[in-house]
Structure 1
Amino acid sequence: MESIQDRIERVRLDLGEIKDFYKVRFSPTRYERLQKFYNDELSSLDKAPFEDYDQEGKIDFLLLKSYLRLKLRQLKQDAEKDDKVLEYLGGHFPLRAAVLISARQAVGPMDGKATATLLTELSGHIVSTKDRIVKEVLVAEPTTALRAANGLTELLSQLQEWYAFYAEYDPLFTWWVAAPWPKVEDALADLVKTIKTVVLGLDPLDEDKIIGEPIGQDGLLDALESEMIPYTPEELIEIAKKEYAWCENEMQKAAAAMGHADWRAALEEVKNEYVPPGQQPQLVRSLTMEATEYVKKYDLVTVPPIAEETWQTFMMTPAAQKMNPFFLGGDCIIVSYPTSGMSHADKLMSLRGNNIHFARATVFHEMIPGHHLHAHYWLRHRAYRYLFETPFCIEGWAFYWEMVLWDAPSWTKTPQNRIGMLFWRMHRCARIVFSLKYHLGEMTPEECVELLVDWVGHERATAEGEVRRSIMGDYGPLYQAGYMLGALQLYRLRKEVVVEGGMGEKAFHDKFLRSNMMPVELFRALVKDQELDKDFKTKWRFYDS
């Protein structure tokens, strides 16, 4: 009999192979095959011996069930969105192109003459579609137009691979198709360019435009159900506002200790305390070592020697800094700081945005005991669970340490340090608000930038980078909310099992790290050994203001 762990591994591998083979986004066959896979796996899982599993096995069952159900819902939503794209393009030429690619996947017989005829028709359809879009005969919402441009870019790449498969290797194919193929290739590339520049206003030389694809209320509710967060988006926004009010009050206390009547004036003083160009890598490295020594000294979590020994430092490119204006951590540190080619204003904003106190407030978030330590464990303990990757676990764990060390008298904090810590805490509050309101259609990207500037005191360049990363990066709709909400969950659970329940703090932290990926509510059930059933529903109202 297949164990639940083996089942998860098989699902991951089977799904990867299916997606790799049925790869054309617009192909009905792809949707039908994926839908069958998810439904078959859910049906099979329902027959699994849930009651025979131990607590870890029951957790695995619930993780897989939630994952498959979410993927099935997302598949349906994607199909609906792609139907709008096909309607926008005024015909079904992507479907006809998909047939060519599918036939190549099956290595079916090639009729060069018929294919040349089809390509000639396709190029005509594509050119006509472009003309109708330019003349605004074909119109769509920006989100649909963006999805069309991205989908057609994928299609062009797949068609190029299709052509390379036959060209020269099949002489009759090359004889017939060599002339019509470049017209299709050029027409499709031109159509993508037209949609981006004419419809969306995206200048290829302009890296500053921010545009994304809001998923709406239903999409957010589906994602929240999968993450086991029993709150509505509106309730989560209110939680963020309450946390922001707490932060602002603490900001005012720290500002007063610095001799300022207004916290924004204190923040300006903190921003101007930065190291000269060239010295930021040494600062970040020394801060990383300080955080590592602290958690070891106070025996807060197990730090394996290899995790402590092998992290490296790299510099971030100017282009990457437009998406990531602050340093990043994980398997290594990637440092953001001004480069000689930046404008004078951008240099100053980067220096101020990466000041000493902001860096000290996040280095333990990024490295040890945060992301670097977490990644070391998830690669080595129940690694199959990484299929269920969640920001409430990844980012929640890292930000949780910001909350724990804020409370800890042994973690030295000057008023300037507190300002730095509170800046990021306010930032996490703002992330919940702007990301959820953006996906609800209640805020534009420009309004999201303004929120970060007004609420948090961001430099405009760093605010734009944060919003660009949230909207245009490869992140799920709840990723930005996952920082603070995941941390609030872990913070509340720590109170239940450590402060009130008597579990050792180090044991609690090590248990979390060795459990790999899961919604925090399931980790709560695991660590408290709660009774579970196969129809488990999220119900933990973790927030207590």
Structure 2
Amino acid sequence: MRDPNFSHKQMSAPDRLPTRGLPSNSVTPSGRNGVSSRGGEINERIADRIVRVQWDLTNLKDFWKVHSSPHRSERLAEYLNAELKVLEWMPFQAYDQNERVDYLLLKNFLRNQLSEVHRDAELDSKVLAFLGGFFPLRMANMIEARQRVDDLYHKKAAESLVECTKRIILVKELIVSEKETAEPIVALRATKNLEEFKGHWQEWYNFYDGYDPLFSYWISEPYPKLQKALQDLIDTIKKVCLGLETEDEDTIVGEPIGRSGILEALDTEVIPYTPEELISIAQKEYAWCETEMEKAGHALGFQHWRSALEHVKDLYVEPGKQPSLVRDLTREATAYIRKHDSATVPPVCAETIQTFMMSPKAQKMNPFFLGGDEIIVSYPTQTMSHEQKLMSLRGNNIHFARATVFHEMIPGHHLHMHYMARHRPYRQIFETPFCIEGWAFYWEMVLWDSPSWQKTPENRIGMLFWRMHRCARIIFSLKYHLGEMTAEECVELLIDMVGHERATAEGEVRRSVMGDYGPLYQAGYMLGGLQLYALRQEVVENGDWSEKEFHDTFLKANQLNIELFRALILGEELDKDYKSQWKFYEEIKRD
């Protein structure tokens, strides 16, 4: 229940949230006033500190740009540890509720960044051993010297390139003869690191070439040989260690992080469940979806829901008509939110939706359309095979699209991102799928419940398809990172559990394990939505908040963990060592 002593109606500013019960005096920690050696001022405003940390990390990562270099991981770890140490001396008890939440968000962010640095360094050390150690370190040192603009000794640099090339060729021969082997996760990481080196060497060469006459004299001959040797080694590792052919864009290979990595990520996301408990939640939600699917299928005259789903897949528009469909569905969703006053939709937000088409190559990673600042429509092109065209048409049918539009645009991502750019924008550094994707999925649940949102049996099947998809995402992504499922088994799960076309299932798994997503990203959709749904029941359905006030307050809070948003609006007591404790799923009431 929300604190009865606080009324949201008393807020005098749009972003003002409860500060009840917090001390008014500002206490500076004894003996630690002034400026720290590395972490800025102790009395620095927490919002200002977040902005500074964001730019510090951006600058450090841009400068120490060789991801696999020990120097990069050492410098980042030094910085993050210093910032965490200074946080311990900051006057947490003097902060209001928003500032306390900011403190906890920053602390979690820094801890997560540090965990990632350690995890990457551990994996890169295995890659270094696999590659023999010498040439990756030598190359990293030379690239970092260029960053510092150290004096270049041309002959010595040429000798280093020649020696690195010899070592690369030697490593390649050892791999071909199987005298040097690596587990897939190490081999995959090695190819990524080597690809990055190729780009850094190109920049290194361009920096000097043409500006330094002696550089061209000494380097023009060994440089292309080095680049060729790197590419040959990449191709060899892919073929011998990963079983991939050159230019293979279809095979799915990722980097599972293990149970300990998942638990660390859950702690950062302020989620008090184990991976196994989350999988159980997904299975319960899937059972509910399957029951509702059967009801919708029976309403269409089908005995089994899978037959009804196949019927709905064939209800697609003709080629060339998809942009118009998406446009009309976007307008329908926006008009609904405004008519029912569910959230404030600023005129500029609704006016400036831009639409683009997704390339066939991008559709391998994103088989369905995407939304946010803009909407990117996924649909077959004439370059695709007949089978690919049919799978794309069926996977982007009318009723799947209708259920996707309000997730991607208004009231989902587009509306949310509009607010994030304008209210507490410094919190965007804390981007979490439980917030950004949870908000969009939450609307799938709210509109399912709403009697005023039109739902034919076909519409219901479209909505349920995505809801089952979110359940499956939790199961396959967590089991993949637990090492309990292969990528191929994840594809089969999506086909069997949800009814995906094979191409769309492969795209989903490829996006999950090979895209730039964290290990909990796919789980964040449904779990974040369930968190918001439980909080809605707690503060809206009991009459304390109106729906619009709840939604607008969330939108103006920007990016934050849902449990911390709950503590924020309920005025719950927070301490600087706050640990997740909200068992949100047990609090959800179903009719």
Same fold? TM cut 0.5: yes
Aligned to 2:198: 156
Structure 1: how far apart are the matches of 2:380 and 2:158? 53
- The letter for the 2-side match of 1:173 is F
- The letter for the 2-side match of 1:276 is E
Among residues 511, 519, 526, which one is paired with 1:469 in the alignment? 511
Aligned to 2:139: 97
Could you say what secondary structure the match of 2:410 adopts? coil
Mapped contact 1:90–1:138 kept (Cα < 8 A): no
Aligned to 1:61: 103
Matches within 5 A, 1:228-267: 228-267=270-309
Structure 2: how far apart are the matches of 1:102 and 1:423? 50
Higher alpha-carbon deviation: 347-356 or 428-437: 347-356
Identity of aligned residues (%): 65
Matches within 5 A, 1:123-522: 123-522=165-564
Structure 2: how far apart are the matches of 1:542 and 1:535? 20
Among residues 540, 561, 577, which one is paired with 1:535 in the alignment? 577
Structure 2: how far apart are the matches of 1:474 and 1:542? 28
Q: Deviation string for 1:386-437 (max 9, x for gaps)?
A: 0000000000000000000000000011111111111100000000000000
Among residues 164, 188, 192, which one is paired with 1:122 in the alignment? 164
Could you say what secondary structure the match of 1:314 adopts? strand
Structure 2: how far apart are the matches of 1:274 and 1:439? 35
Mapped contact 2:183–2:241 kept (Cα < 8 A): no
Aligned to 1:40: 82
Structure 1: how far apart are the matches of 2:188 and 2:220? 31
Structure 2: how far apart are the matches of 1:527 and 1:174? 64
Matches within 5 A, 1:80-91: 80-91=122-133
TM-aligned CA deviation for residue 356 of structure 1: 1.0
Could you say what secondary structure the match of 2:107 adopts? helix
TM-aligned CA deviation for residue 325 of structure 1: 1.1
Please report the RMSD computed on the Cα atoms of aligned residues, expressed in angstroms: 1.1
- The letter for the 2-side match of 1:432 is I
Q: Deviation string for 1:278-332 (max 9, x for gaps)?
A: 1111111111101100011111000000001010111111111111111111111
TM-aligned CA deviation for residue 337 of structure 1: 1.3
- Higher relative helix content: 1
TM-aligned CA deviation for residue 27 of structure 1: 2.2
TM-aligned CA deviation for residue 110 of structure 1: 1.6
Aligned to 2:4: none
Structure 1: how far apart are the matches of 2:150 and 2:354? 49
- The letter for the 1-side match of 2:435 is C
TM-score by length of 1: 0.98
Structure 2: how far apart are the matches of 1:199 and 1:27? 23
Structure 1: how far apart are the matches of 2:63 and 2:133? 25
The runs of at least 4 aligned residues of structure 1 exceeding 6 Å deviation read: none
- The letter for the 2-side match of 1:318 is P
Could you say what secondary structure the match of 1:534 adopts? coil
Q: Deviation string for 1:433-474 (max 9, x for gaps)?
A: 000001111111111010011000111111111111111111
Structure 1: how far apart are the matches of 2:384 and 2:144? 47
Structure 2: how far apart are the matches of 1:143 and 1:98? 22
Aligned to 2:37: none
Structure 2: how far apart are the matches of 1:270 and 1:279? 17
Could you say what secondary structure the match of 1:477 adopts? coil
Mapped contact 1:314–1:334 kept (Cα < 8 A): yes
Question: Residues 312 and 168 from structure 1, CA distance in 2 versus in 1: closer, same or farther, beyond 3 angstroms?
Answer: closer
Could you say what secondary structure the match of 1:543 adopts? helix
Structure 2: how far apart are the matches of 1:383 and 1:449? 37
TM-score by length of 2: 0.91
Aligned to 2:15: none
TM-aligned CA deviation for residue 501 of structure 1: 4.9
Q: Deviation string for 1:120-165 (max 9, x for gaps)?
A: 1111101001110111111011111010000011112112212222
- The letter for the 2-side match of 1:136 is E
Gaps of 5+ in 1: none
Could you say what secondary structure the match of 1:254 adopts? helix
